[in-house]
């Protein structure tokens, strides 16, 4: 990766691409853009977090901003605290699902929402041209330290969701739960969360903030083989897994173990179908499972937007959506805050188990089968000739070019694929979803032959 600068902030290899100078300049640009406002800062558990945070705070103070440092905290906690305190913005110091050698600055605006394209471009212009507003020494303050953000977050989550989630029944059911925090920021919040929900039978694994990530931290099937071996020896109702900043969520079932992170959002939605009155917003790379879940709910449809949490949130605001998210295990519940949140996901999934009065394996068995292939193709580029060849190869369906190349074909065996450059890595991602593994493998082969 080395370094990737975008409207969402900056991400890269620490001290190689993401150097102290880059961190300082991006933070000065953001602080200048925020015009002496109040900013919340939080990190995940990467060893480089403290170094990065020190530079970020220094730069923000130099631009006259007031800083509240909440320490190690999940991304949803940082985002919610921006909203709760009515601060102008926040910086999340976390490279999320990327490996431990990376770190990042993720930039928030008021209400704990990520900057949109226009706002991000303004910060980027300040960064590139080094148009920084450094204040007089008399306007530089000391950062404040606040250690109770997770407690506030959890109490307020329960309050905002109580109209939609049967917390009394969840407590009475006394689920046996295992949660894997990948030694990330969730390690500091998970116990507070489950205790607030009254769930006592919880086993916490990989929950040591002073230990490195035990594996490649993205919560996808190929990274979770070791966890599956552990769970084969355990007795549990459902097991959850988070990424290092705890905004994404996956789950294991007792019989099938890990199936796909794509199931998180539809299972979360299933328990609140009776509350849905507006569309569910997802990104282009999100499974048809969501369409199947809402297909019988009047006036509710699934709307797909370009990749990026900010795009999902912006459309949710326009539609007045209650719930939305992404197929990577991201659940967004607008009544609480407009950002991906593994804790909202857990509460909604447990609520679905209560409402349906079924086990997680039984719920998964009721879902139609889709085979999903996700692959990183490397740093390749799309030429006009490639697009032409794709159109000649796949011509019975509909194309959408709002973000890469999206193709959907109806019929007895419907399928779709998405080819697009990653927002977080210098690669092109390919995702294909169809009814069978054989069908999907054939489509993947045809796509690759177009390059």
DSSP line for 150-169: HHHHHHHHHHHHTTTS-HHH
Q: Distance of CA 210 to CAs 15, 75, 216, Å? A: 21, 18, 17
- Phi, psi (deg, nearest 5) at residue 282: -135, 175
Question: Is residue 339 a contact partner of residue 114, using CB atoms and an 8 Å limit?
Answer: yes
Helices (H), 134-288: 149-161, 167-173, 190-197, 225-231, 264-270
DSSP state, 123? H
- Rounded to whole angstroms, how far apart are CA atoms 80 and 263? 25
Q: Are strands 249-253 and 102-109 parallel, antiparallel or unpaired?
A: unpaired
96 is an active site residue: yes
Helix (H) or strand (E) holding 366: helix 360-366
From 6, 37, 58, 96, active-site residue: 96
Q: Distance of CA 90 to CAs 39, 41, 198, Å? A: 5, 6, 31
- Rounded to whole angstroms, how far apart are CA atoms 394 and 70? 51
Taking alpha carbons only, the member of 265, 266, 268, 260 closest to residue 219 is: 260
- Rounded to whole angstroms, how far apart are CA atoms 140 and 418? 48
User: Which residues does the annotation mark as catalytic?
Assistant: 96
């Amino acid at each position: 990766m080395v370094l990737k600068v975008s409207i969402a902030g900056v991400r890269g290899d620490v001290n190689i691409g993401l150097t102290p100078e880059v961190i300082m300049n991006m933070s000065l640009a953001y602080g200048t853009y925020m015009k002496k406002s109040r900013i919340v800062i939080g990190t995940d558990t990467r060893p480089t977090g403290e170094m990065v945070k020190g530079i970020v705070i220094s730069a923000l103070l130099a631009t006259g901003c007031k800083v509240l440092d909440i320490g190690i905290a999940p991304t949803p906690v940082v985002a919610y605290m921006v909203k709760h305190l009515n601060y102008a913005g926040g910086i999340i110091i976390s490279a999320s699902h990327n490996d431990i050698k990376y770190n990042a600055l993720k930039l928030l605006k008021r209400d704990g929402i990520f900057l949109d394209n226009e706002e991000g471009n303004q910060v980027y212009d300040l960064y590139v041209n080094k148009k920084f507003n450094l204040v007089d020494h008399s306007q530089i303050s000391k950062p404040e330290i606040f250690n109770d953000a997770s407690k506030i977050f959890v109490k307020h989550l329960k309050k905002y969701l109580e109209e939609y989630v049967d917390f009394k029944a969840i407590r009475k059911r006394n689920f046996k739960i295992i949660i894997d925090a990948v030694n990330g920021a969730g390690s500091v919040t998970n116990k507070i969360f489950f205790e607030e929900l009254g769930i006592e039978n919880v086993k916490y694994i990989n929950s040591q903030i002073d230990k490195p990530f035990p594996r490649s931290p993205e919560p996808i099937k190929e990274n979770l083989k070791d966890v599956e071996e552990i769970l084969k020896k355990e007795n549990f109702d459902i097991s959850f897994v988070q990424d290092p900043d705890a905004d994404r969520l996956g789950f294991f079932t007792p019989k099938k173990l890990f199936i796909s992170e794509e199931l998180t959002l539809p299972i979360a939605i299933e328990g609140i179908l009776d509350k849905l009155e507006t569309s569910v917003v997802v990104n282009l790379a999100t499974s048809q499972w969501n369409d199947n879940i809402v297909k019988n709910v009047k006036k509710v449809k699934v709307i797909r937007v370009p990749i990026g949490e900010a795009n999902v949130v912006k459309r949710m605001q326009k539609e007045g959506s209650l719930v939305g998210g992404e197929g990577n295990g991201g659940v967004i519940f607008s009544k609480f805050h407009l950002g991906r949140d593994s804790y909202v996901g857990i509460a909604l999934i447990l609520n679905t188990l209560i409402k349906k009065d079924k086990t997680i394996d039984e719920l998964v068995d009721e879902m139609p089968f889709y085979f999903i292939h996700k692959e990183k193709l490397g740093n390749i580029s799309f030429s006009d000739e490639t697009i032409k060849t794709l159109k000649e190869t796949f011509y019975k369906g509909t194309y959408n070019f709002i973000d890469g190349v999206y193709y959907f074909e109806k019929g007895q065996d419907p399928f779709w694929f998405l080819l697009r450059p990653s927002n977080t890595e210098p690669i092109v991602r390919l995702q294909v979803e169809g009814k069978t593994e054989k069908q999907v493998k054939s489509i993947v082969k045809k796509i690759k032959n177009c390059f």
